[in-house]
Amino acid sequence: MATTAEICDANPQLIVSGELRALHPVFQIYGRRQVFSGPIVTLKVFEDNVLVRSFLEERGNGRVLVVDGGGSMRCAILGGNPVQQAQNNGWAGIVVNGCIRDVEEINGCDIGVRALGPHPMKANKKGMGEKQVPITIAGTRIWDGEWLYADTDGILVSKMELSI
């Protein structure tokens, strides 16, 4: 995969049109896979991880789960077990606008994970949230089915898969 910087340099017209957007640089890098990309599945939850877990139990087929956790810094909505499941089920990555826990376990997994930071407290288990809806995280509106490209320089979202 080309770097996110190279993607930006090669596609100035997509940046101007808004078809290629960069998320604000607010995410920490976790997991062994620092570079990942794939079609996006969106999820909107708040301090509840039931839907996160249920998505990651499905076959990932190279997709990226992008979770708008409302930016909550009061608990973790993703932990080591679901990340291990995501790795085993073929997800390319997970981006969480919120916190994670079990960092050492996650860092041992061959998957890309981005989150705002770690938090030791677990989330609620009420099953509240919305699947595959437009979300806004890190200054960027993201739609289910768009494409995400992540590396150590940042995270890009594109309306379509880019030939890179």
The answer to whether residue 43 sits within a structural domain is: yes
Binding residues for substrate: 79-82, 101
The answer to whether residue 117 sits within a structural domain is: yes
Per-residue pLDDT, 1? 77
The answer to whether residue 123 sits within a structural domain is: yes
In degrees rounded to 5, what are phi and psi of residue 94? -140, 130
CATH number of the domain encompassing residue 26: 3.50.30.40
Per-residue pLDDT, 163? 81
Record the tokens describing residue 72, joined without a space.
């909550």
Which one, of 164, 140, 134, lies nearest residue 154 by Cα? 140
How many separate domains does the chain show?
1
The answer to whether residue 104 sits within a structural domain is: yes
The answer to whether residue 108 sits within a structural domain is: yes
Which one, of 86, 92, 107, 83, lies nearest residue 149 by Cα? 92
Structure pTM? 0.97
Q: What tens-digit pLDDT sequence spans the chain (164 residues)?
A: 799 999 999 999 999 999 999 999 999 999 999 999 999 999 999 999 999 999 999 999 999 999 999 999 999 999 999 999 999 999 999 999 999 999 999 999 999 999 999 999 999 999 999 999 999 999 999 999 999 999 999 999 999 999 87
The answer to whether residue 87 sits within a structural domain is: yes
Binding residues for Mg(2+): 102
The answer to whether residue 163 sits within a structural domain is: no
Q: Which H or E element spans position 103?
A: helix 103-107
Per-residue pLDDT, 46? 98
In degrees rounded to 5, what are phi and psi of residue 147? -115, 140
Record the tokens describing residue 59, joined without a space.
């076959």
Question: In angstroms, rounded to a whole number, what is the distance separating the alpha carbons of residues 28 and 96?
Answer: 10
Q: Which domain holds residue 73?
A: 4-158
The answer to whether residue 164 sits within a structural domain is: no
Question: In angstroms, rounded to a whole number, what is the distance separating the alpha carbons of residues 30 and 28?
Answer: 7
